Amino acid sequence: MPKLLQIGELAKQTGLSIRTLRYYDEIGLLVPSHRTEAEYRLYSEADIARLQHILSLRQLGFALKEIRECLENPAFSLPNVINLHLARLQEQIVVSQSLFTKLSTLAQQLQTSQTIAVDDLLQIMENLTMTQQYLTQEQHDLLEARLKGSNEGQTKWLLDQARSHMAQGRDFNDPEVRLMAFQFRNGLYGLVGGDLQLYEALMQVYQKEGAEVASLGTLDAPTFDYILKAMAILSVREDMVEFSLDPLTPESREVLIQGQECMQELHLNFFGTEGLLLGLLAVETSSAAQALNNQGVDFVIAQNLIRKLLAKHKVSDTKISSHMKNLIRKLSAKYTVKLPKISSDTKIPPEIPFTPRAHRVMELATEQAKQQGHARITPQHLLLGLLRESEMGGETGGGLAMHVLQECGVDCQKLKQQLNSV
């Protein structure tokens, strides 16, 4: 029988540490063929040959996961390894070229100005080098462009909110913390543009290099980790909590039905805050509609403004681009609200996917009703929920509905006072 090597002997012969060989065993990359009665590892000639393959592939720059996939693939061959390595070298060349371009630009800036601090320069180069180990040049440039194009005022406001909540030690189920997490999650969806590969690459940067590198230097680690935790808890909560129509008064149900019909007339297949506003105005007998009318907003005015805004931006709920529409479709099952059919000959579907913002307004309306000691949700509570969401959402709060109210010169504080006095 061929001689079997103990782990210490194999480590000595290969120059690897015992800890490394144990780790290879734990992840299933190199599992020893034999063990003693005392469970000591024993390596056969076949095991040693496999280890040589592993070390060769490591020299070529392969990750351990890629090495395992190669070795377990019956079609594994040396030409395949060489081609994969050539592709990796090509990616590294692209990264190096990008690095050269950025360094040249910074060098020119330093020749004409001394405003770039050394620490800032080092941070820029470190972030670039690290992120491009995981992201393609195209992905990196896309993220950089989207971060630069984001609303700086809104981003700063959200970061201040996150840091304030964290410093206060607020419960993650606190409504304001949930809203903060909700908005950051929407921002993350917008950043990756619905691209799962880009999201996974970005999360790999986060796991391997940390929060500051993953956010391209825009977020410190404690804040980034806090936000991710808040988003995770929010997502779990949403999966467990479904909005029920049971607490709605008949008048509120009619608001949703009318809003659904209005969205269909606008050729939209989701229910945003604009649908809720139109539904509230369509049910003219409600206290919410009357309060809006008192400030110069009626159904026709709102409908015309929404049509103009949609035609101008070709979006709904502030800015819903193609990736947000894909997101809404993916979230349809989570945010679907079943309503009775309006008539037998209508083409309006019996199920409406709420946008995440509209769903948030419904949650806030529920909270408004509870705060006032009411068991049922009235149109008044729906409108208060919309106003509350706009206050907590910063510059983009309230979505398209708030744009309409602003265009009409509505005094939101006065509107709230009137609703609370009913």
Q: What average pLDDT score do residues 356-367 get?
A: 84
Q: Which residues contact 275 (CB under 8 A, 6 or more apart)?
A: 259, 260, 262, 263, 268, 358
Predicted pLDDT of residue 52: 85
Instruction: Name the token pair of 255.
Output: 């608001």
The pLDDT score that the predictor gives to residue 59 is: 74
pLDDT number for residue 330: 44
pLDDT confidence of 364, banded at 50, 70, 90?
confident
Q: How many CB atoms lie within 10 A of CB 70?
A: 18
pLDDT band (50, 70, 90) for residue 316: very low
pLDDT of residue 120: 52
pLDDT at 343 over 50: no
Average pLDDT over residues 214-233: 81
The per-residue pLDDT for range 270-285, each reduced to its tens digit, is: 788 899 999 999 999 9
Cβ neighbourhood burial of 357 (10 Å; 0-12, 13-18, 19+): buried
- Higher pLDDT residue, 37 or 349? 37
* Nearest one of 245, 246, 238 to 260, comparing CA atoms: 245
The residue that leads in pLDDT, 14 or 1, is 14
Given strand 5-6, what is the order of strands in its sheet?
5-6, 41-43, 34-35
Tell me the per-residue pLDDT of 52-105, one tens digit each, with 9 for 90 and over. Answer: 888 878 877 677 887 888 888 766 666 766 676 677 667 667 656 666 666 676
pLDDT given at position 277: 94
Alpha-carbon span 239 to 241, nearest angstrom: 6
Mean pLDDT taken over the chain: 76
Q: Which residue has the higher pLDDT, 362 or 241?
A: 362
Is the model's pLDDT at 396 over the cut of 60? no
Handedness of CA 100, 102, 108, 114 (dihedral sign): negative
> What whole-number distance in Å separates Cα of residue 323 and Cα of residue 191?
10
- Spatial separation of the C-alpha atoms in residues 185 and 204, rounded to whole Å: 17
State yes or no: pLDDT of 328 exceeds 80. Answer: no
Percent of the chain exceeding pLDDT 90 equals 14
pLDDT digits (tens, 9 = 90+) for 23-58: 899 888 999 999 988 888 999 998 998 898 888 788
Cβ neighbours of 414 (radius 10 Å): 12
324: pLDDT strictly greater than 50: no
User: Residue written as tokens 């377990």?
Assistant: 72
Mean pLDDT in residue range 294-320: 74
The average pLDDT across 410-418 equals 89
Q: What is the pLDDT of residue 333?
A: 42
Least confident residue range of 20-24, 51-55, 140-144, 215-219: 215-219
Token output for 215: 């956010």
- Tell which wins on pLDDT, 179 or 15: 15
pLDDT, greater one: 380 or 14: 380
pLDDT of residue 288: 93
Which of the residue ranges 113-117, 178-182, 328-332 would you say has the lowest mean pLDDT? 328-332
Is the pLDDT confidence value at 241 over 80?
A: no
Query: Of the given ranges (111-120, 138-147, 382-391), which has the lowest mean pLDDT?
Result: 111-120
Output the pLDDT for position 31. 93
Q: Give the model confidence (pLDDT) of 144-167 as tens digits.
A: 777 766 666 667 777 888 899 999
pLDDT at 233: 86
Bridge partners (DSSP) of residue 34 are: 42
